[in-house]
Chains A and B, each alone.
Chain A
Amino acid sequence: MNLPKEQQLDLLIVDDEAGMRTGAERSLEGFSVTLPDFNETVTFTVRSTGTGEEALAALKAKTPDIILLDYKLPDMTGIDVLEAAPEPRDFLTIMITAFASLEVAVTATKRGAFDFLAKPFTPEELRATVQKAARSIYLHRKARRLEEEKKQVRFEFISVLAHELKSPLAAVEGYMHLMKERMKGPELAAYDSMVERSVVRIGGMRKLVMDLLDLTRLESGKKKRALEPVDLVKAAGLALEAAAQMAARKKVTLELKAPPELLMTADPGEVDMIFSNLLTNAVKYNKDGGKAVLELERRDGGAVLVRCSDTGIGMTETELAKLFGEFVRMKNEHTRSIDGSGLGLSILKKVVKLYGGEVRVKSAYGEGSSFELTLKDAKVSMAGAEPALKA
């Protein structure tokens, strides 16, 4: 186990009573707060001043983490100190006040005071208050760190997305320039391939935008779900039909192995997303003349096992490890002409999760891949179910 890391917080005491200052300093000497959640121990370095002016100078010299501030100072009030404090004011204020008046409390809270200590207080009361402040500081710091990490992930996603959107634009733009320069002479037919490629790239871009919308809707949980009894076998049959044309172009045979019927509570759109996703991948990443099999089978406990295996190009260990990343498309000598948004599996994973399952992949390079997942009845949301129960 890791030993707790020791951290120091800087604490500034501002009080005109010398006895109070030394008393507080002594109470906090050697005092430490353990934060088990962070695996850290906090100790305190204490500075103290007796007037408002001195306090402002101390704040200017170094922003403390915590300030213990007496309301009644010889030259100004504690509130004046807070108002005049230099930016950044990211310290935690504990107001010390002899007469715990409501008015002072309200004003101080408005100025961002975190807590109050009413004079006279015991060393224990002081320590308890400081401990509370230290915990709060760490919680805030942790929250801020998480927020920053989230922002970073979002930023990276958007950067890659921008790149994925710009690539097809650049390709189409490039063809336009070549056509404008009549690069292939005056015959219009000479440019057919350029037009054809431009159409393909624009189509890919549209697919990316649609996938992105799907993914965003799934992530936000805002997607409207129409849950009803769905026959998975029938749905799989429809998805198979939809993929048939694409399969025929690559001479890939599609096969469905399933019982006559498998009923489940599900959203038909989501079910189609799952099957289409599996089948298009099985066709796209297949060899010419290959085979793809979609299997459905009821498991004990009512869950349905879905397996889609192909005799395709397969993946290496390294490729497999990267597979579920967003915008990841396997790039090797077999896949370069394959189009895709790179979001398909991210979407599949999120949809399958709605049915309490996860996607497992097995793959052998050059031999094929097999995607396996289990689906359980979708849970009808409690909000919708409650009135029915009460009725």
Chain B
Amino acid sequence: MSTKKNILVVDDDIDFLDQIALTMKADGYNVTTAQGQEEAEDAMLTAIPDLAILDLMMENMDSGFVLCHHIKKIYPATPVIILTAVEAETGMDFKARCSEAASWVKADAMMHKPVLPEQLRSEVRRLLRA
């Protein structure tokens, strides 16, 4: 039997965290959740993530980006999905910030909240196959 893949989910919204965890567990993954950057930094040392799903708007505007950068530094092969809730319609220069940051944080995918479970599933499958 193959070992289960580990997914690290980081978001400051507990409901969102529960929902993603539930969806991912249903697909047969192991899920580690963290509610902030610091907690995630600790968590990823004990359970090596095969994939990480990060929210952008945590305690600080950029903690998602910073965290992504750290994950990639320690585990270069781990794909990272960044979720953003702030969109162009209200998001100030956020969109520009996102694409600019995307180039240096090297996230493998950027998705907008709310994310449909099906969308997230296929994205996770795609990144874990690669």
* Interface residues in chain A, defined as those with a beta carbon under 8 Å from any beta carbon in chain B: 155-156, 158-159, 162-163, 166-167, 169-171, 173-175, 177-178, 181, 183-184, 197, 201, 331, 333, 336-337
Q: Could you jot down 11 A-B contacts, CB within 8 Å?
A: A155-B92, A159-B91, A162-B90, A171-B13, A171-B15, A174-B19, A175-B15, A181-B117, A184-B22, A197-B18, A336-B35
A181 to B90, CA, bound (A): 31
Chain A residues with CB under 8 A of B35? 336
Task: Tell me, in angstroms, the Cα distance from A331 to B13 when the chains sit together.
Answer: 11
Known: A159-B90, A163-B86. A178 touches B23 (CB 8 A): yes
> Which residues in A have their C-beta under 8 angstroms from that of B85?
163, 166-167, 170
- Given A163-B85, A178-B117: A336 in contact with B15 (beta carbons within 8 A): no
Q: Name 18 extra pairs, CB < 8 A, besides A170-B113, A201-B15.
A: A155-B92, A156-B92, A159-B92, A159-B94, A162-B90, A163-B57, A166-B85, A170-B85, A171-B15, A177-B116, A177-B117, A178-B22, A178-B23, A178-B117, A181-B117, A183-B23, A184-B22, A331-B59
Looking at the assembled complex, report how far the CB atom of A323 sits from the nearest CB atom of chain B, in whole angstroms: 15
- The reply on B16 being an interface residue by CB < 8 A is yes
Would you give the shortest CB distance from B123 to chain A, in whole angstroms? 15
Shortest Cβ distance from residue B15 to the other chain A in the assembled complex, whole angstroms: 4
Instruction: Determine if B19 and A175 form an interchain contact, defined as CB atoms under 8 angstroms apart.
Output: yes
Q: Which 3 pairs, one residue from A and one from B, show the smallest C-beta to C-beta distance?
A: A171-B15, A162-B90, A174-B19
Which of A159, A173, A181, A183 contacts B86, CB < 8 Å?
A159
Are A158 and B16 interface neighbours, CB within 8 A? no
| Cβ–Cβ < 8 Å partners of A173 in chain B | 114
Smallest CB–CB gap between B44 and chain A, Å? 17
Instruction: Please determine whether B90 and A158 come into contact, CB atoms closer than 8 angstroms.
Output: yes
For the complex formed, measure the closest distance between the CB of B62 and the CB atoms of chain A, giving whole angstroms: 15
Q: A184 CA to B85 CA in the complex, in Å?
A: 26
Chain B 61-102, CB-CB to A under 8 Å as 1, else 0, gives 000000000000000000000000110001110100000000
Q: Provide the bound-state CA to CA distance between A201 and B91, in Å.
A: 22
Nearest chain B CB to A109 CB, angstrom units: 40
Of chain A, the residue at the smallest CB distance from B94 is: A159
* A355–B37 alpha-carbon span in the complex (Å): 41
Assess the B57–A170 pair: CB atoms within 8 A.
no
A155 and B93 CA atoms in complex are apart in Å by 11
In angstroms, Cα B86 to Cα A264, docked, is: 46
Query: Chain B residues near A159 (CB, 8 Å)?
Result: 86, 90-92, 94
The interface bits of chain B over 1-34 (1 if a CB of A lies within 8 angstroms of the residue's CB, else 0) are: 0000000000011111011001100100000000
Q: Which of B39, B85, B94 has the most CB of A within 10 A?
A: B85
Distance of A178 Cα from B58 Cα, bound (Å): 24
Chain A residues with Cβ under 8 A from B59's Cβ? 331
Q: Which secondary structure characterizes the binding site on chain B?
A: loop
Q: With A159-B86, A170-B113, A331-B36 in contact, do A183 and B26 touch (Cβ < 8 Å)?
A: yes
Q: Chain A residues with Cβ under 8 A from B116's Cβ?
A: 177
Complex Cα gap A121–B41 (Å): 76
* CB contact under 8 A between A197 and B23, given known A331-B36, A336-B35: no
**Complex formed: what's the CA distance from A170 to B120 in Å?**
15
The interface residues of chain A lying within 8 Å CB-to-CB of B36 are 331
Distance, CA A175 to CA B114, complexed state (A): 11
Cβ–Cβ < 8 Å partners of B114 in chain A:
169-170, 173-174
Contact of A174 with B90 at beta-carbon distance under 8 Å, contacts A163-B85, A183-B22, A331-B36 already known: no
With a cutoff of 8 Å between Cβ atoms, the chain B residues found around residue A166 in the complex are: 85, 113
Report the separation of the CA atoms of residues A167 and B18 in the bound assembly, to the nearest whole angstrom.
Answer: 14
Q: Select from chain B the residue with minimum beta-carbon distance to A156.
A: B92
Q: Is the pair A170, B22 in contact by a Cβ cutoff of 8 Å? A: no
| Candidate in A163, A174, A184, A337 with the most chain B CB atoms within 10 angstroms | A174
CB contacts (< 8 Å) of A171 on chain B: these are: 13, 15-16, 19
Q: How far is the CA of A178 from the CA of B117 in the complex (A)?
A: 8
Complex interface: chain B residues within 8 A of A337 (CB): 14
Q: How far is A331 from B52 in the complex, measured between Cα atoms in Å? A: 22
CA A181 to CA B57, docked complex, whole Å: 27
Q: Which residues of A contact B90 (CB under 8 A)?
A: 158-159, 162-163
Given contacts A159-B90, A163-B86, contact A174 B57 (CB under 8 A): no
CB distance from B104 to the nearest CB of A (A): 23
- The answer to whether B19 touches A178 (Cβ under 8 A) is yes
* Chain B residue with the shortest CB-CB distance to A181: B117
User: Measured between alpha carbons, how far is A201 from B13 in the docked complex, in Å?
Assistant: 11
Complex: A162 Cα to B14 Cα, angstroms? 19
The listed residue with most A CB atoms (<10 A of its CB), out of B12, B35, B86, B114, is: B114
Cα separation A158 to B85 with both chains bound (whole Å) = 14
Chain A residues positioned under 8 Å from B39 (CB to CB) = 333
Closest chain B residue to A177 by CB distance?
Answer: B117
- How far does the alpha carbon of A333 sit from the alpha carbon of B38 in the complex, in Å? 10
